[in-house]
Structure 1
Amino acid sequence: MSGLLYSLVKIVVKTGLYGYHKKIVISGLENIPKDKPVMFLPNHQSALIDVLLIATDCNRKPYFLTRSDVFKGKFLKRMFSYFQMLPIYRMRDGRDTLSNNDAIFNSCAEILNRGEALLLFPEANHNLKRSVRTLSKGFTRILIRTFELYPDVDVQLIPVGLNYKHAAHFPDEVAIHYGAPISAKSFYDSKDLNKTSFDIKREISGRLKKLTIHIPNDGAYEMILDRLNAENADFLSPVSTNEKIESYIHGEQRLSNQTIPIQEKRSLFKFLFTVLNFPIVLIWRTWLKPKVPEDEFMGTFRFACAIITYPIYMTLLFAILSFSLSAYLACVILSMLTLVNVGLVKYGLR
């Protein structure tokens, strides 16, 4: 029964993600081993959306390392535990809590030794900047602990590039590129753990800079980003876009200090979408959107609003239309409404 519930939730979330995004492109799934322990190591831009996109399509059932401050109350702890989420403690949670990570690292080592999958973000924070940030040593500490406890385990590292067109916008497009597996064991040197950690971080960082858009985070960042926006660069294609970035950096194309703002185009399609979903749009704009703490959470909050309120909205419409017309006509109207909404998200809205 518990497995059935997990599968149902996964189907609902996956359906929601594909309905919410204009386009989701996935490549490299063949790189994911099905019979070996795996550690997924993606870049981190869009808070919980990053997790959901990987969890619903990676062909594994991964455990997740999650910030400890969300594990509040018995109900939430049980729910997060059911969905294979493990708390990770940070300095901001209090220095005295950091010792709890020792038991978590042991749990992660055991998970990998069982041949299961683990997902964590090596950057250890999220940011909308199109740059691969300095990697934390947290994931390498887990790997070292794993090899110390289970020397023969063959952990496969899968770098994952998440590429959003405009992560804070709706509807958005995203490409997820799974890189070739890397044997963590080949980097392990029990006599020099610092070198082990350094070499693994360097390898993963280099892979991520090829699997996602990487603009060096220096004084030219904004100029390069403006130029990419002006040329309508394909942010779903890291290979071609990174080639453009290299040409800018090496002077093959001149950079300009002129800022080119991204203007949101209003259209009849957007007006129609707002009218058809007015209660949901109203809740989002007047109540939930002002509570979003930072742009990195915009997609997460908006998606949560949609996946919770849309079924309620459709249920209420069905009840009203069934009472005033008939259940059959209510089904026809709501089916048409759903198709129109999907069409607007996929082809109408910008």
Structure 2
Amino acid sequence: MLFSVAHSVIPPLARAVWRPSVEGLHHVPSSGPVIVASNHLSFFDSVVIPVVVPRPVAFLAKSDYFTGTGVKGFLTRAWFEGLGMLPVDRDDTKAAIASLDTALEVLRRGDAFGIYPEGTRSRDGRLYRGRTGVAHLALTAGCPVVPVGLQGTEDIQPVGASRPRLGKVDVTVRFGEPITVAGEYDGVPSGRARRELTDRIMAAIAGLSGQEQAGVYNERPADV
């Protein structure tokens, strides 16, 4: 109910304010489990993708956003829940495993799950090496992965900014052809399959975003 109400208001408003350019939206299946795997430039990435995709896309968000009190806490919680975001405790040492379990629940329901294989936002504009959780999800759920290349979202809400900038910003969202996994990695050792699939996904994202590939993992600063 909350998603339906929020999704009838937020996407048209956001598109009117920021007017993102969208390419390849037809690559996102209208139903069934799918992973939407994107590069990560800004906190706003988790807003712009659900805003342009006509079906719910669940992303993970810090649990702090769901626990606030008073009017501000209610509005913040309503905003995140309305966009289909799911709480995760990033300070929990078992958070990575719990987040994968949450993602699999979403996919097993036949819904779409959004993920950033880099793990955290790029601070220098390069595309970092993907972590294999995205491949684990795809291989376990047997679902396709739609790669996404974002451009310009860092200009809406740069790293460190507490709120997005209003007004026209050149933002482009490119969806690539689905990467299928069914039957493609039969007989391949699991570790190798996850690495190969992850690298394949990241190469597709790089082709869509135009970013230079860093070739190393991106580590989240301790204070972020």
* TM-score bracket for the superposition, by shorter chain length: 0.7 to 0.9
Relative to structure 1, the CA distance from residue 103 to residue 129 in structure 2 (aligned partners, 3 Å threshold; closer, same or farther) is closer
One of 175, 179, 182 as aligned partner of 2:176: 179
Measure how far apart 1:161 and its partner are.
0.6
One-letter amino acid of the structure 1 residue matched with residue 106 of structure 2: I
1:245-303 deviation digits (Å, cap 9, x = unpaired): xxxxxxxxxxxxxxxxxxxxxxxxxxxxxxxxxxxxxxxxxxxxxxxxxxxxxxxxxxx
Distance 1:33 1:111 in 2: 15
Pairs within 5 Å for 1:166-205: 167=155, 168=158, 171-189=168-186, 192-205=189-202
The aligned counterpart of 1:157 is 145
Separation in structure 1 between the aligned mates of residue 154 and residue 58 of structure 2, nearest angstrom: 28
Tell me which protein shows more helix as a share of its residues: 1
Match of 1:38 among 34, 41, 54: 34
Structure 1: gaps (5+ residues): 148-152, 219-350
Give 2:22's match in structure 1, choosing from 20, 26, 44: 26
Quick one: which amino acid aligns to residue 104 of structure 2?
A
Instruction: State how far apart, in whole Å, the 1-side matches of 2:98 and 2:12 are.
Output: 35
SS at match of 1:160: strand
Compute the TM-score of the two structures, normalised by the length of structure 2: 0.75
Unpaired segments of 5 or more residues in structure 2?
A: 159-164, 216-224
- Tell me which structure has the larger Cα radius of gyration: 1
Shift, 1:82, TM fit? 6.0
Separation in structure 2 between the aligned mates of residue 183 and residue 133 of structure 1, nearest angstrom? 22
Query: How much is the aligned-residue C-alpha RMSD, in angstroms?
Result: 3.0
CA distance in 2: counterparts of 1:17 and 1:78, whole angstroms: 18
Superposed counterparts of 1:1-350, under 5 Å: 2=1, 5-21=2-18, 23-47=19-43, 49-73=44-68, 79=78, 80=80, 83-90=83-90, 93=91, 97-144=92-139, 147=140, 153-164=141-152, 167=155, 168=158, 171-189=168-186, 192-217=189-214
After superposition, the C-alpha distances for 1:160-212 in whole angstroms (9 at most, x for unaligned) are 01011871575311111100001133454576221121011110111011100
Name the structure, 1 or 2, with higher relative contact order (CA <8 Å, separation 6+): 2
Q: Is the 8 A contact 2:41 2:153 kept in 1?
A: no
Displacement of 1:85: 2.4
Separation of aligned partners in 1, 2:186 and 2:65: 36
Between the two proteins, what is the percent identity of the paired residues? 24
Q: Is the 8 A contact 1:187 1:199 kept in 2?
A: no
Which residue identity is paired with 1:210?
G
Task: Give distance in 1, aligned partners of 2:89 and 2:67.
Answer: 13
Give, in whole Å, the separation in 2 of the partners of 1:71 and 1:24.
27
Residues 39, 119 of structure 1: 8 Å contact kept: yes
TM-score (norm 1): 0.50
The equivalent residue for 2:220 is none
